[in-house]
Structure 1
Amino acid sequence: MESTKKIALVTGGSRGLGKDMALALAKKGNDVIVTYNAKKDEALAVVAAVEQLGQRAAALQLNTGNVKSFDAFFATLQATLKNTFQAERFDFLINNAGHGITVPSIAATTEEQFDDLVNVHLKGVFFLTQKAIPHINDGGGIVNLSSGLTRFTHPGSGAYASIKGGVEILTKYMAKELGSRYIRANIVAPGAIATDFNGGRLRETPQVQEYIKSITALPRIGQADDIGSVVAFLCSDEAKWVNGQRIEVSGGMYL
């Protein structure tokens, strides 16, 4: 008997924003599959936390920057859906996996750094979604992650923000092309969040925190659960008429 519960796949779900997305989705009654690149133990801890919330969960290894590995990943995913969830397909794809770089400027950015960002944040998102389309149920959804840095500028983020801008355009095309199947596609664009992203610089540096507060309308530092709840909302019937949109979740930075 096929499961009637919705299933969400969160890439990069072992820690930080992805972990909170997984938990927020579970709290809304979804089963959850998280992917991890190297941190299997952390991913299994997220699985345990989701199960504690009464939902089913699984963790699968995936390097979102290696497109050649995607066929093998989807073979494993199909087996996991059948064995763990008694399902043929899943409902929500959250393209969250990613990383930043710390460089002072465009002039200091290497081609290797640029290519690495493209592979994970744009090429990986494009082709993972392409291969996921046959496995997503009609009426499902896609949530891609962008950044507040596509609206405002911060020196050193030129490569990262430009690539995220590409993801924003791609998301509109996903929304258009998949609309006939009632699959929605939206962007969530976080502001500065205190996680271990970029080596935890915001979380660990009081001076940076004070600066961020000074340029944010709601004068505090963003936390992971500020983002997860918005992703979970977009993967619910409450957001059934929200499509092709960019939702910035930054507390009002640089307004």
Structure 2
Amino acid sequence: MHKLLKMSWLNVKNTAYSKEFLLGIIAAFAYSMLWICFVRPKLYGLMDYDFEFGRFLYVMILYAAVSILRNDIKSNCIKTVFTGVFSRTEIMISKSIGLIIWGVIFAIMVEVNNILASLILYKKIGINGFLAFNHLQLFITYIIIAFSMGALMLLIVSIIFNESKFILFFIVILSLVNFVSSAITVLIVTHPELISKFSTYMKTPFYNTIALMQGCFSMQSILINIIWALIFCILSTFIINKREIN
């Protein structure tokens, strides 16, 4: 188990130190600073700035999840990884653990952004506003998002199973779905009578991911995303176990 955890951390570490990832994180913080320093909507509180940063960070979550498996293919060490000491199932379990580690890392990034927002907007938010924020809820939210949406990206990579840039197409599509889901959650909150029309969509990880990001924290959203994450992980593991790796 210790070796699996170490492998999970190495998967995360390799992506975290990549130039593409670091540039993406810099861009995410730059986007957030635009809202905090210049836009500054009158009605925005810490949760709103948290959401704006998370909306950009969502793209990086997808990229980080893809890289956990895609980097093995890209570096031509896929045969070594999947035909070594560990079974393919154990390798995929280590990838899933890596998603949870990513969730913690992204939650820390959001906390850093919240600290910056609280200090820059000291008169409006300040230390009291930061301390009043539900930090445990934030960590659970990003761990669940990284695990569920990351598991979906693992499934997509296990199906495509190449290092083609075509995989970036799915990142763009899922980012657009996230944007649309944001509008749907607002619509449902303002018009509760529409819940029945979106009842099926509300059981998907896409809707519940954006609901969690917007602060609509509930056990139902957490359980739905965990169930979907487990389904995605099981399917990707099954596909990898059946795949010929040369």
Please classify the TM superposition score into its range, dividing by the shorter chain length. Answer: 0.3 to 0.5
Structure index of larger Rg:
2
Greater RCO (Cα-Cα under 8 Å, separation 6 or more): 2
TM-score, L = length of structure 1? 0.31
- The structure that is helix-richer by fraction is 2
TM-score by length of 2: 0.32
